[in-house]
Structure 1
Amino acid sequence: MVKWFFSLLSVLSTLCLAGQLPSPALIPIPAEASYPPGSYLIGKELTVSIPEGIKNRSFLLEQLSTKFTRSAGITIQETREEVAVLRLRLVPAATLASREAYSLEISNNGIVISAAEEAGFFYALQTLWQLLPAEIEAPTAQPGKEWAVPFASIRDYPRFGWRGLMLDVARHFFTKEQVKDFIDHMAAYKYNRLHLHLTDDQGWRIEIKQLPRLTAIGAYRGERTGKWGEFGKQDPKEPKNYGGYYTQDDIRELLAYAADRQVAIVPEIDVPGHSMALLAAYPDLSCTPGTTYQVNGGDRFMHWPGGGKFYSTIDNNLCPANERVYALLDTIFTEIAALFPIEYIHMGGDETYKGFWEKSDALKGLMKRENLKDMHEVQSYFVKRVARIIASKGKKMMGWDEIMEGGLAPGAAVMSWQGDKGGIAASKLKHPVVMSPNSHTYVDLYQGDPLSEPPTYGMVRLKKTYAFDPVPAGADPTYILGGQANLWSERLYTTRHLEYMLWPRGWAVAEAVWSPVKRKDWNDFVRRTEAHFKRNDLAGINYSTSLYDPMVNVQYVQDTVVQVSLQTETDQLSLHYSFDEFPPDRFYPVYTAPIRFPPGASTLQVQSFRNGQPIGKRMILPLAELKKRIRK
């Protein structure tokens, strides 16, 4: 038996060294890692040593105790380093690649984590959790499980200092506890910036003590259920029973919670557009006197006819010619700056429809006094005034790439969302840039065929998100702070829907902003993603399996016959289909080439299979809907 065991061990060692055994499913993939054969089995008690010099040692101990006790039933016992199984060691910063760097060594001698600061220790623990069996994520005890971690030698550090997720809490409100859960989930993948979109037409979500009307009126609207954008207008007399806001004490609590998890919170107050909730409280601050405002409840007033053009049927902008606007913003930013430690305040600046400005006598007077040639220069005038207000509070201004229109304010940082163009231009002007292009990182867009997904718009498949590089060709990398995924919430009513849209695309962005480009590999990412599906199942976190669903292209052939082409994102899938109204199983035809609707057929059904088992969603594709996609 002993001889057989060592023979097997020798074979496994040879396979591992030859690269034939998969490495642990870590997301984001570490900068440097090797995995010798073998594993360390953790017993019922885990002895730990944490130096007194680690600032967050009590928090780390709490995290260790919670994680190991909850699902594994392993107790944590502090002891001396020379006898501890898990040893945390402070090392000089000069020995590591960055303040967030760490090393993790697992061998027969136990587990050793080395870092120079608390961030490195925290990120090392996130990696350790992923090395443990997936059951460590379960909220309840998992009896009978062996808690082994593979031998590993990891040297890890981030590619960028800004690794962000934006959560829109304005369109739909998420409670303080829900935001804490969001922070936990993002921190597990080494994100370190939570951008909170706190204000918009549909809600004002933060207490400003000197301006109580902002939340008393701006935080609430009539409740609606259904398809966003198709709701009827609110009756001014109907109950305003949907919404909420964060008190300043709530914000302080969230800031402390996030800081423990190495996350800084970036506040966004979106002006001059997207301001209907503010105008509901202070209607005299628009350029259209006499307008009756209420917080928007999801009825459509912004319209996008195509070609990048848009217009609004209601003036939802603050008026750049009204000095009371700047006085109010000074009050707001005074309180925001005092609350949030981060150096940046985001002022939005996007999607400002200027049609009502063009009709305003007050604006015409401003343009004449300030020698402003067009509406772009009017917006630039407003942005620069806001930048000076923010600077007077000791902060730096950040905004969406529309703040570049008419001239960029000195020192402003640009969050580039309209593709790469704005970020490239801003970097060449030597302005800080965070890349968040809607082409890759807008994780509220469709991730699979619209007939199989909850309604939204656009399309960003997982493979496209994984291709995201925060340093696009032509950009000056010196000024690229990092990248960010944006989760707008117009159509997100629940955290289950939120999670479905975010994961696994959020994992793809996490890898883009943490891992070296040379370490990225699409097929290996898919393998690791599937392992994290199991972890999410155990943790009760939702996710999408749309990566298994084919992309569908439709065209006419022979004038009236509809032909469908299917293409998969991932390998080793077979697509079975039917036209006979019965769900296809593995005995139905396999797609090998474009297929045509036979006469009389009204629906195509498609199911992905792997190794003879269904995977992903069954797609139901009515002929009438497919015909709408064909451009004649």
Structure 2
Amino acid sequence: MKKTIIASALLLSIGVVGCQYSSAPSTSDDAQSANGSDLQHKANQAADSAWTQASLKQFAADLKVTYRMVTNVPEESCSATQPDEQCFIAEIDLTSSVNIPHADWAIYFSQMRPVQAVLNPQFSITRVQGDLHKIAPTEQFTGFSAGVTQRIGFRGELWQLSETDPMPNYYIVVDGLEPVVIASTQLSIDAETGMEVRPYVEAFTDEKRQYRRTATDNLAWSRAEVLFEANNALVVNREAAINRIIPTPLSASVTSSNTPVDLSQGIEVNYQQVDSAAVAAALSRLARLGVKQSDTGLSLAFVKNSKVTADEQGIDGAYQLKVAIDGITITAATDSGFSYGLSSLAALIDTRELSINTMVVDDAPRYDFRGMHIDVARNFHSKQLIFDLIDQMAAYKLNKLHLHMADDEAWRLEIDGLPELTDIGSKRCHDLTESTCLIPQLGSGPFADASVNGFYSKADYIDILQYASARQVEVIPSMDMPGHSRAAIKSMDARYRKFMASGENNAANEYLLTDANDTTVYSSVQYYNDNTLNVCLESTYHFVDKVIDEIAKLHQQAGHPLKRYHIGADETAGAWKQSPQCVDFVANNDKGVKSIDDLGAYFIERVANMVSAKGIEPAGWSDGMSHTNADNMPAKSQTNIWDVISHHGYQRAHNQANLGWDTVLSNPEVLYFDFPYEADPKEHGYYWATRALNSQKLFSFMPDNLPANAEQWNDIENNPFTADDSVKKDEQGKVTSAPLQQGKGFSGIQGQIWSETIRSDEVAEYMMFPRLLMLAEKAWHKAKWEVPYQYQGAVYHQNSGYFTADMRKQQQQQWNDIANTLGHKELAKLDVANIEYRVPTVGAKIEAGLLYANIAFPGLKIEYRQLSEESDNNAAETASWLEYQAPVKVSGNIEIRAISASGKRKGRSLFL
């Protein structure tokens, strides 16, 4: 009792005014003697002590770090001066196994939300740049004592809602020694799921304080019982998968189901006028699924017919597939049509039995642009992952790969003549001068040889382009500018210093991207104050021109023409407002720039026209594109709409489509695959637009009528929203938004994966698959149940009635068929391709002692095990896993999980 009173008094003594949280060193009963004069004595001895590389390495190996999310509740976490803000409190526990009195160390770590205040006076936390933070002892530091936990509480901006938020690879630095990664902060891999595990993060248990975003947050935690209700409308139906093709074709007619066509002996291909190289990849996929080419196989003939086109727009990819007892015929006008016909043939196959029904499929794509974006800049991903992604894109008829290769955190493509971009910009390490590398970010750690570092050589990139060409996939390169350009800036700064040191002033300034006399203070969305190109320097445009020309040369060498180049143009912080170069430019230019505020638009317009003059279509993200004067832009321009629909994102989509631009939907709450699948703190991903993006939500997307999605979706906090698609005007009567014009629409849709939280190829695949299959479904096929667009304008909400009961019923019926196709047939093909897709978490409930379970993809196996009443759910258990087949009598605590189609990988388990 006495110890409790003393501890409480200590907590109160360093309390934070206006906040219900306090932090103090935590001590175990066995370590009480380390307090007071003993600790002070050890601190006084620090000056007489010294680290060695060996002792530092040992300390980092033994130091236990625990990250604990305490509360997101503003009344508990914000100070009295922040009454209307959102804050959170978290704690970092440091427990040493030995006495360390030294105070000449610092621990560096990545923290996604900036630290506002430190709640333990023995430590300071300062932000270095971006998300890199530094923990250092203050003058009040009393040293580490064996077995004593030093608890560093801190207040941060906004909220933390996921156990995956705390980045790995904390490292300790002492002057004169090599930095050392703290072993307890490294990721481990779960042997059964293959997923990353963060042993240093304490599990969430408090729904109100840890899981809820705000007091109005009504999003249910996706526990087993919640998932059971979500899956309850599904009916197990293996028959639904037999003739189902993903993505759904325009029409498919089964001509006989009594005499199936046996493909077990393979196929004999008659190419006729079709180039064998154009269909080789699609035939290889058939072979991997068990249908190989054979002289004694069933005849498969290609027939070229120029009349087989998609529609009056002539969208490429139409085909006809005929399956008969005596042979298979694919008729098309183009290489992609023949490949897509083979993809549909592969879709009909069940890997367990190589026979299909006779049928006729007539098909053509919904959109010309059916894309997938992957960010390899934040964290690098291998060439093999890109190959595997392209394979699966081709298998499901996606045709545009948006390859994001440069951002603040790295530059990933070798550029002839600018070696600094990859020598320095492709890697992160602990060099605070950034002379040899960029500083660590995103938990990359202190060493340049980390797996998250790397780049594609020119030869690598050519390989990627040729691999994509063989599969009818266009590669769209992106090096984000003028914001998100820190890697380029720091690389060119290093180049400048190198040439200045050798007296080559002209060379030093040739590609310089910043004005050294710019005193602008700004912060980007990712908390950088030095990540934006100076758009008033001619050397900036010389750099951009050089980069695009060199990339175009690589495309030419690969025989893969550069048709589109993505500028980026998003989230520009405006780093030039106090730049003397820009002040002079605005005062003396003849470019029509009248204000500093016009410079961002000037850059986009100038670069877009530079790109267009090279015969390349410019592309950019919708926020940057919205700042331009459409009259100054090339008529042929692409915009990617990344605006949130529930935040009126449909308005910008309509405005930009009405300009006649190629408008590609990239809306985050349905098309960002770096967001969590389910609303569970253990799920990977960021969550600023949604906390739950599973395959069913993606399937439900109505892309041709964005506001109509308000009838079926809620916002990020699971609250209904209204989408008003009527004409809007400002106070001067100027139209600010309006419905789509007749004859205008969207060019397509694109899925996105951003890699801030995705460090490995395995996690990248987990986040992309199986959602990519539903992306393909929406890009290729327009469902009959989608609400027609109202060109006169309309207001949509959950009771507006445009999405009728009959449409909802059709949607559910089709989803039931597709979910069964995934579970019974399609996921097995991803297993054959070694794609580490996400195995879904299982829905379950217990009623009257009976366990009931279901799953999002019927056909996958479910397992459960019974734990004793006293068992800790997080402890390793020895109970046997049992296959769930029907409601079963259970007792005690129940753990439940799903198994991949191959039976080799397990899904994340849940407890009841």
Superposition TM-score tier, normalisation by shorter sequence:
0.7 to 0.9
Matched, 1:401 2:401: no
Matched, 1:526 2:740: no
Aligned to 1:120, which of 317, 337, 345?
Answer: 337
- State the shift of 1:331 in Å: 1.1
Alignment of 1:546-557 (within 5 A): 546=840, 548=842
| Root mean square deviation, CA, Å | 3.9
User: Is the 1:462–1:547 Cα contact (8 Å) retained in structure 2?
Assistant: no
Matched, 1:541 2:756: no
Once residues 59 and 431 of structure 1 are traced to their aligned partners in structure 2, the CA distance between those partners, rounded to angstroms, is 31
- State the shift of 1:103 in Å: 0.9
Q: Which residue of 2 aligns with 1:5?
A: none
Output the TM-score relative to the length of structure 2.
0.53
Q: Which amino acid aligns with 1:90?
A: K
1:4-46 deviations in whole A, cap 9, x for unaligned?
xxxxxxxxxxxxxxx9865424211111112231311135353
Matched, 1:330 2:545: yes
Q: Which residue of 2 aligns with 1:347?
A: 567
Q: Which residue of 2 aligns with 1:317?
A: 532
User: Is the 1:96–1:116 Cα contact (8 Å) retained in structure 2?
Assistant: no
Once residues 390 and 629 of structure 2 are traced to their aligned partners in structure 1, the CA distance between those partners, rounded to angstroms, is 32
User: Is the 1:606–1:618 Cα contact (8 Å) retained in structure 2?
Assistant: yes
Equivalenced residues, count: 536
1:145-188 deviations in whole A, cap 9, x for unaligned?
x5212222111110001000011111222233332122111111
- State the shift of 1:248 in Å: 2.7
Once residues 253 and 859 of structure 2 are traced to their aligned partners in structure 1, the CA distance between those partners, rounded to angstroms, is 27
User: Is the 1:399–1:413 Cα contact (8 Å) retained in structure 2?
Assistant: yes
Aligned to 2:414, which of 191, 196, 207?
Answer: 207
Q: Measured at CA, do residues 195 and 388 of structure 1 come closer, stay the same or move farther in structure 2, by a change above 3 Å?
A: same
- State the shift of 1:250 in Å: 2.6
Q: Which residue of 2 aligns with 1:415?
A: 640
Q: Which amino acid aligns with 2:516?
A: P
User: Is the 1:132–1:148 Cα contact (8 Å) retained in structure 2?
Assistant: yes
User: Is the 2:427–2:448 Cα contact (8 Å) retained in structure 1?
Assistant: no
Q: Which residue of 2 aligns with 1:170?
A: 377
Matched, 1:496 2:762: yes
Once residues 351 and 363 of structure 2 are traced to their aligned partners in structure 1, the CA distance between those partners, rounded to angstroms, is 21
User: Is the 1:468–1:509 Cα contact (8 Å) retained in structure 2?
Assistant: no
1:380-411 deviations in whole A, cap 9, x for unaligned?
01111211221232212100012234324513
Aligned to 1:77, which of 295, 304, 309?
Answer: 295
Q: Measured at CA, do residues 368 and 617 of structure 1 come closer, stay the same or move farther in structure 2, by a change above 3 Å?
A: same
Q: Measured at CA, do residues 534 and 364 of structure 1 come closer, stay the same or move farther in structure 2, by a change above 3 Å?
A: same
- State the shift of 1:287 in Å: 4.4
Matched, 1:470 2:761: no
Q: Measured at CA, do residues 312 and 384 of structure 1 come closer, stay the same or move farther in structure 2, by a change above 3 Å?
A: same
- State the shift of 1:540 in Å: 2.2
2:455 aligned counterpart, secondary structure: coil
- Which has the higher Rg, Structure 1 or Structure 2? 2
User: Is the 1:169–1:197 Cα contact (8 Å) retained in structure 2?
Assistant: yes
Matched, 1:366 2:573: no
Alignment of 1:6-21 (within 5 A): none
Once residues 750 and 843 of structure 2 are traced to their aligned partners in structure 1, the CA distance between those partners, rounded to angstroms, is 26
Q: Which amino acid aligns with 1:539?
A: A
Q: Which residue of 2 aligns with 1:457?
A: 687
Once residues 608 and 174 of structure 1 are traced to their aligned partners in structure 2, the CA distance between those partners, rounded to angstroms, is 29
1:314-366 deviations in whole A, cap 9, x for unaligned?
21110012121111111111222333314211000112222x43333333333
- State the shift of 1:110 in Å: 1.9
Once residues 858 and 286 of structure 2 are traced to their aligned partners in structure 1, the CA distance between those partners, rounded to angstroms, is 36
Once residues 133 and 427 of structure 1 are traced to their aligned partners in structure 2, the CA distance between those partners, rounded to angstroms, is 41
1:116-141 deviations in whole A, cap 9, x for unaligned?
11111101111111212225xxxxxx
Once residues 622 and 342 of structure 2 are traced to their aligned partners in structure 1, the CA distance between those partners, rounded to angstroms, is 36
1:524-579 deviations in whole A, cap 9, x for unaligned?
2212221322222333211113364599xxxxxxxxxxxxxx99978999999999
Q: Which residue of 1 aligns with 2:474?
A: 264
User: Is the 1:29–1:515 Cα contact (8 Å) retained in structure 2?
Assistant: yes
Q: Which residue of 2 aligns with 1:103?
A: 320
Matched, 1:32 2:242: no
Q: Which residue of 1 aligns with 2:463?
A: 253
2:684 aligned counterpart, secondary structure: coil
- State the shift of 1:508 in Å: 1.0
Question: Could you list the runs of 5+ residues in structure 2 that have no partner in the other structure?
Answer: 1-237, 432-439, 497-511, 556-560, 707-738, 786-810, 846-852, 874-880, 900-905
Q: Which residue of 1 aligns with 2:909?
A: 618
Q: Measured at CA, do residues 60 and 568 of structure 1 come closer, stay the same or move farther in structure 2, by a change above 3 Å?
A: closer
Question: Could you list the runs of 5+ residues in structure 1 that have no partner in the other structure?
Answer: 1-18, 136-145, 292-300, 304-309, 552-565, 591-603, 622-632
Once residues 316 and 130 of structure 1 are traced to their aligned partners in structure 2, the CA distance between those partners, rounded to angstroms, is 45
Once residues 417 and 150 of structure 1 are traced to their aligned partners in structure 2, the CA distance between those partners, rounded to angstroms, is 42
Q: Which residue of 2 aligns with 1:424?
A: 654
Output the TM-score relative to the length of structure 1.
0.75
User: Is the 1:312–1:353 Cα contact (8 Å) retained in structure 2?
Assistant: no
Once residues 179 and 387 of structure 1 are traced to their aligned partners in structure 2, the CA distance between those partners, rounded to angstroms, is 27
Once residues 309 and 537 of structure 2 are traced to their aligned partners in structure 1, the CA distance between those partners, rounded to angstroms, is 55
Q: Which moved more, 1:493-502 or 1:176-185?
A: 176-185
Q: Which residue of 2 aligns with 1:507?
A: 773
2:654 aligned counterpart, secondary structure: helix
- State the shift of 1:461 in Å: 2.8
Alignment of 1:178-189 (within 5 A): 178-189=385-396
Once residues 588 and 408 of structure 1 are traced to their aligned partners in structure 2, the CA distance between those partners, rounded to angstroms, is 68
Q: Measured at CA, do residues 116 and 361 of structure 1 come closer, stay the same or move farther in structure 2, by a change above 3 Å?
A: same
Q: Which amino acid aligns with 1:46?
A: I
Q: Measured at CA, do residues 481 and 153 of structure 1 come closer, stay the same or move farther in structure 2, by a change above 3 Å?
A: same
1:346 aligned counterpart, secondary structure: strand
